[in-house]
Amino acid sequence: MPFINERLEANRESIEKNRAASGPVRASRFRFEPDVVMSRLRENIVGQDEALTAMESMLVRVKADIGEENRPLAVHLFLGPTGVGKTETVRLIAEAIHGNRDGLCRIDMNTLAQEHYAAALTGAPPGYVGSKEGHSLFDLDKVQGSFSKPGIVLFDEIEKASKEVVRTLLNVLDTGRLVFPSGNREIDFRNTLIFMTSNAGALDAEEHEQRYQKGWRRWLGLSPGDSESVRDVALRRHFDPEFLNRIDQILTFNSLTDNWLEALLDIELAGLNRRLGKKQAELSLSTKLRVELCRGYDARYGAREMLRAFRQRLEPAVAKALLVHSDCQRFEADVQNGSVTVHQYVE
């Protein structure tokens, strides 16, 4: 969209001239507040303090608009096992900035496992069908954002894409531009937050921890060793050095332990109550049911396991109670003989 790019550039030049004329005014062109974004993240992401601190630093830097002009605003790679909040973090950032969890361009990299799928990102090369049209999986509006709000791109499960597909991103990460092979089209990523998620190294780190728990080092009171080196070896196995060198920061998301079960349960319950609020209803859980739901948690599947328990065990009982007691506003869920029951709440 050359017209949009020209308008963005014209607005930048106009604001710079106004700043120069009026003195040292440092108002940011970006209309989002890092504190508001971080509040949303900290309400919904648990057990990832280090990653969230890094996100806060990134958002403050972007808000100040002091980054290099010929690169994306930020490039981050999130590592960690499934269900720990990597993709959810990006969706929450999109929701806080754009008012919509889907206000980002999400590319499922597991669908690009073959080399020739690189054309899905860059368009078909000259001489091939579709080369003149320049079709691409990128949603331009969500990629480029606007002058006051950055675009957001998520490359999900990037380790599952072919190496040829990943190599097509080198220019994007380095110069903020993607020029199509046909030469007649270009996508601008210089106003974009780029996030990538990967499970690379998660199994390696888990195996490393299990070997430590069963091995002689633990019995002698020795440390388990440097988990960062385990991660780095896995990364080098999956990605070229040129690719890793273009990433601003690589963040590891921790596995969720039993310490976070209550917090996860409260987050899922709050989400369910937001949906029930549209039906003028509210749900509370008995202590017995809370213990039951937490007992079924499996760390291998992370927060998604808790969500499955809600969908399979709790939501059907809630739905039935809503239909039977259409005039009731407050409900309580309990468990009896392994079955979840929902009844009208009694003070």
Interval 146-166 mean pLDDT: 93
Instruction: Among 62-71, 89-98, 201-210, 297-306, name the one with the lowest average pLDDT.
Output: 201-210
| pLDDT tens by residue, 21-67 | 555 556 789 999 999 999 999 999 999 999 999 999 999 999 999 98
Is the Cβ–Cβ distance between 153 and 169 less than 8 Å?
Answer: no
With cut-offs at 50, 70 and 90, classify the pLDDT of residue 113: confident
Which ranges of the chain would DSSP assign to H, the alpha helix? Answer: 2-22, 34-44, 49-64, 86-98, 119-122, 140-144, 163-167, 170-175, 202-214, 216-219, 227-238, 241-244, 261-277, 287-295, 303-309, 315-324
Distance CA 27, CA 224 (A): 48
Query: Is pTM beyond 0.85 here?
Result: no
CA 142 to mean position of chain CA atoms: 15
pLDDT exceeds cutoff 70 at 18 = no
The C-alpha angle 225, 230, 233, rounded to 5 degrees, equals 145
Distance CA 286, CA 262 (A): 13
Alpha-carbon torsion angle 268, 294, 290, 279, nearest 10: 20
List the chain domain ranges.
Answer: 2-200+239-252, 258-344
Is the Cβ–Cβ distance between 251 and 52 less than 8 Å?
Answer: no
Distance CA 281, CA 220 (A): 56
pLDDT exceeds cutoff 60 at 15 = no
Distance CA 170, CA 66 (A): 22
Interval 218-224 mean pLDDT: 52
- The domain defined by 258-344 folds into Helicase, Ruva Protein; domain 3 (1.10.8)
| Residue 164 or residue 3, greater confidence | 164
Instruction: Among 14-18, 129-133, 157-161, 211-215, name the one with the lowest average pLDDT.
Output: 129-133
- CATH superfamily, domain at 2-200+239-252: P-loop containing nucleotide triphosphate hydrolases (3.40.50.300)
